[in-house]
Amino acid sequence: MTAVLVDSNVLLDVATGDPRWSEWSSAALERTADEAILVINPLVYAEVSVGFTAIEELEAALPADLYRREDLPYEAAFLVGKSFVHYRRGGGAKGSPLRDFYIGAHAAVAGHRLLTRDAARYRTYFPKVELIAP
């Protein structure tokens, strides 16, 4: 069974009932869970945690039996640095969040597909990562 790294925007869409994206994100999560192992990393966990007041609530929303936890590979950190330099040289904003680059690099290094609704940056800087996106 293949693994799919789930971007925090998809999880937040579902958790917050986002009026524009929750339907797509919910359906994509269900469909993906039927065919693959869902994976999150510490950055995704941290981003999603913002919407919860207690860790127990977050754990209930992201149960470990449904979402496999993976550490961030050091090889991904190297790729993040190279991708971010490319981004900055192309005129990217200084304050751009590195977390998106880490999520893309993690998927690339681990050979995971990536479930996201924000595909533009991933397509540009991680073109070999197979995306599940609208």
Q: In this structure, what token pair is assigned to residue 105? A: 């690099």
The burial of 125, by beta-carbon neighbours within 10 Å (0-12 exposed, 13-18 middle, 19 or more buried), is given as buried
Give the pLDDT of residue 97.
67
The DSSP secondary-structure symbol of 90 reads T
- Report angle CA 61, 67, 72 to the nearest 5 degrees: 115
How many Cβ atoms from other residues are within 10 Å of residue 30's Cβ? 10
pLDDT digits (tens, 9 = 90+) for 26-63: 999 999 999 999 999 999 999 999 989 999 999 999 99
Percentage above 90 pLDDT, the chain: 78
Q: Is the pLDDT confidence value at 96 over 70?
A: no
Quickly list DSSP for 110-123. Answer: HT-EEE-S-HHHHH
The DSSP secondary-structure symbol of 129 reads S
The structure's pTM equals: 0.89
